Structure 1
Amino acid sequence: MKAFISALLGCDSDPTKSKLGILGYVKGYYGCIEAQGRGSLHCHMLIWLQGGLNPNEIKKRVIEDPSSTFEQRIISFLDDTICNKVPDKPTVSVDIPSNTYHPCAMRGTTMSGYDSELMLTEDAINLDIHNLVQYCQVHWHTSTCYKYCKSGEPKICRSGLDPLNVTLLTTFDHVTGELIMRCLDGLVNNFNITILRAIRCNMDIKFIGSGASAKAVLYYITNYITKSQLKTHVAYAALERAVVKLGQIDSNDTPVTTMSKKLLQKCAYSMISEQELSAQQVSTYLLGYKDHYTSHTYANLFWTSFESFIERSKPSPECY
């Protein structure tokens, strides 16, 4: 992650040493490391660019001054930065490492046993990118895609990926000011070619450029970071185990308050012991790696206290 932030984003702990990155000059970033169901770690990151306008400012400039080049310039930037189509195979046949081995396991086209000069040709590099996108970015529907679909209803992928989701051009809706991004292949996740070639693993990249997309991302992030890591069935099992253990204590010799405290204590210990941690998470902790990366220092917001203060200051009857 440090190499990604430094080499690709151009960021440095000393702001005066930051440089132009793949996406432009970065003003700030915040990324969280999360483990998926099978344990592998991945990062969710928000990146703010120098000079970047908020959705309302973008909307205002597009609608109020349609004759300016602003709209076309921002569309050109986005189309150049974000791709969502498998690149065509070169017409010239080239034998490269990712033809034989998994592209994610390769460090580009250079490898012992292959013609070093041929591996640096444009055809070899383009074929490697084709293989990489094909393996990493193309979505294949599985039963997991439809696990929230009810019986009798049409099956819709919960990731929103469908071959019919095709938009040939990136455009602005001049009535609403909403940005409609180009999508050349409905089954390919967005990617940046340079970043993909560097990290060589699946990725998704989105531009938050309209009110609708900003709200959707905000909802997703809020829902994501507040979800419980402890599954409900595991919590109930831990609670049951704590109650059973508590029943082994002689209640005649123990005050009620002590019994209550011990119940809470045993519940907490049981739940903590039932937390699922992958080997990757444990290794990351033991090696002293971070679980989040940020360019700034943030103050803690104690949401419950904040919400209570607002509610006392200005009650909202409609919320009850």
Structure 2
Amino acid sequence: MQAFIRTLLAFDPAQKDAEGGILGVVKSYFGCVEAQGRGSLHCHMVVWVEGGLNPNEMRERIRGDTTAEFQRRLLAFLDDTISTSMPPLPEGYTEPSSPLPHPCSVRGLTPEERNSDVAEQLAAVDLHHVVAACQKHVHSNTCYKYWKGKGHAKECRFDLDEGNVCLESTIDPETGQICLRCMDGMINNFNDTVIQAMRCNMDIKFIGNGQDAKAVLMYITDYITKSPLKAHVSYAALEVALTRLSRFDGTLTDVAQRARRTLQRAAFALVAQQELSAQQVASYLLDLEDHFTSHSFNNLYWTGFERYLDSLDPSPECAFIPATQYAAPDSPDAQTAAERVEDLADQQPHDESVHDGVDEYDEQLDSMNAVDEVGVTTSRTGELVPLANQLYDYVYRAPELDRLTLWDFVSRTKKEGKS
């Protein structure tokens, strides 16, 4: 994947490469690795290209394109980038009598073949075989797993059908909807260069309108949040966990320690029932990436901020809050704003203000109810380091940062220790 990003996408973090890769100049990307039912790993990636317009800008640009020049250039780019038909074999080519190896098991053209006089013809033959093996769809029972039975249309859930043919790419000037040409309804979209280099099944789609953007966001969110355990496996794992929880350990007398041990047993029992493919296990053991991103992201621990805001202005829709906790301003039990900040900040995940490992420490604490037992930690050199958190940082930020919203403060600022 790193070779794909570096060579085919030609992503340049310094943004100095004006030529770009197969999709143009890439501004950013985000990819997530997932294991399919067979266990093989694949990556879902969203790529942002320099000059790309958001759906609203795209629609306005198309509506204002009186000469249709922008539409022509856009469709020419998409037709050149996305292929939707079986590449033809060179004229006069005949298949050899002996069986050929699977095209995904070989690297394609050798250096000698690439430098030969028939390199173009050999590349065309190789592309044809790779697309035929990887992109040509054959209907199976999986295609109709959501079919409701007789009386309902039996359609392939991948929307691949012999009748899905469109001879010319078009754009609806009113809605901005783009319909790419499709010469073969049983061929999944692909890019010539990517499939020849990666030699595996692929898909590629242009997100040019709001409907497509919403569909992709829904697809990505569904993949990120879905459970790795199937329903029947989850129930079986839960049964095993409950059986183990019923075992009493008489050596533990402390209630808190017994509760922690019980939770550990339940968690271990669930994890032990999870099926992992050899590829997943190898990926974990080799510490390979499970996601690829061009940018770094900061975590926003919203729960503590929400509690703080609710303490300043309690909402009737929220859970009941004892009256003594937020007494009248003139009451002896009343808290100042600073005291409320300190109390709520103590319940929020902490990060280390002057050394690395912020995220690792934060993730180990419960963002809802954790009460810190210590207020210091140690740096890599063994020195004591005071702890701080986002709520402290934002509420007590410098006057120069007063105009920053919470979102901008978290995403645009970086905390560094004093030397």
Establish whether TM, by shorter chain, passes 0.5.
yes
Alignment CA distance shift 1:26-1:238 (3 Å)? same
Q: Give the structure with the larger helix fraction.
A: 1
| In structure 1, C-alpha distance between the alignment counterparts of 2:264 and 2:148, rounded to whole Å | 41
- Work out which of the two has the higher radius of gyration on C-alpha atoms and give 1 or 2: 2
Asked whether the equivalents of residues 171 and 179 of structure 2 are also in contact (C-alpha less than 8 Å), the reply is yes
Alignment CA distance shift 1:300-1:111 (3 Å)? same
Asked whether the equivalents of residues 11 and 18 of structure 1 are also in contact (C-alpha less than 8 Å), the reply is no
Offset at residue 193 of structure 1 (A): 0.6
Offset at residue 275 of structure 1 (A): 2.0
For structure 2, list consecutive stretches of 5 or more residues without a partner in the other structure.
Answer: 318-419
| In structure 2, C-alpha distance between the alignment counterparts of 1:187 and 1:304, rounded to whole Å | 48
State the one-letter code of the partner of 2:23.
L
1:227 equivalent in alignment to 2:218 = no
Report how many residues are paired: 313
Superposed CA deviations along residues 262-301 of structure 1, whole A, max 9, x for unmatched, are 5433221211222222111121222232111111011235
1:149 equivalent in alignment to 2:147 = yes
Corresponding residue for residue 89 of structure 2 = 89
Alignment CA distance shift 1:306-1:167 (3 Å)? farther
For structure 1, list consecutive stretches of 5 or more residues without a partner in the other structure.
Answer: none
Give the TM-score normalised by the residue count of structure 2: 0.67
| In structure 1, C-alpha distance between the alignment counterparts of 2:302 and 2:98, rounded to whole Å | 49
Bigger shift: 39-48 or 11-20?
11-20
Give the TM-score normalised by the residue count of structure 1: 0.86
Superposed CA deviations along residues 117-150 of structure 1, whole A, max 9, x for unmatched, are 3652x22221211111111111110011111112
Offset at residue 110 of structure 1 (A): 3.0
Asked whether the equivalents of residues 87 and 130 of structure 1 are also in contact (C-alpha less than 8 Å), the reply is yes
Provide the identity percentage: 49
Q: Compare relative contact order (CA 8 Å, sep 6+) and give the higher one, 1 or 2.
A: 1
Alignment CA distance shift 1:95-1:188 (3 Å)? closer
Asked whether the equivalents of residues 83 and 191 of structure 2 are also in contact (C-alpha less than 8 Å), the reply is yes
| In structure 2, C-alpha distance between the alignment counterparts of 1:127 and 1:311, rounded to whole Å | 67
State the one-letter code of the partner of 2:287.
G
Offset at residue 90 of structure 1 (A): 1.7
Asked whether the equivalents of residues 109 and 119 of structure 1 are also in contact (C-alpha less than 8 Å), the reply is no
Superposed CA deviations along residues 223-273 of structure 1, whole A, max 9, x for unmatched, are 11111112222222222222222323279x978877665543322121122
| In structure 2, C-alpha distance between the alignment counterparts of 1:184 and 1:307, rounded to whole Å | 54
Alignment CA distance shift 1:11-1:132 (3 Å)? same
| In structure 1, C-alpha distance between the alignment counterparts of 2:125 and 2:45, rounded to whole Å | 29
Superposed CA deviations along residues 189-243 of structure 1, whole A, max 9, x for unmatched, are 1011111111111110000011111111111111111111122222222222222
Superposed CA deviations along residues 148-207 of structure 1, whole A, max 9, x for unmatched, are 112213321111111111122111112212112222211111011111111111110000
Corresponding residue for residue 166 of structure 2 = 167
| In structure 2, C-alpha distance between the alignment counterparts of 1:225 and 1:307, rounded to whole Å | 25
Corresponding residue for residue 5 of structure 1 = 5
| In structure 2, C-alpha distance between the alignment counterparts of 1:308 and 1:84, rounded to whole Å | 52
Corresponding residue for residue 352 of structure 2 = none
Bigger shift: 174-183 or 141-150?
174-183
Corresponding residue for residue 263 of structure 2 = 264
Offset at residue 21 of structure 1 (A): 0.5
State the one-letter code of the partner of 1:132.
V
Asked whether the equivalents of residues 246 and 262 of structure 1 are also in contact (C-alpha less than 8 Å), the reply is no
Map 1:54-65; keep pairs closer than 5 Å. 54-65=54-65
Alignment CA distance shift 1:308-1:159 (3 Å)? farther
Asked whether the equivalents of residues 98 and 128 of structure 1 are also in contact (C-alpha less than 8 Å), the reply is no
Corresponding residue for residue 182 of structure 1 = 181
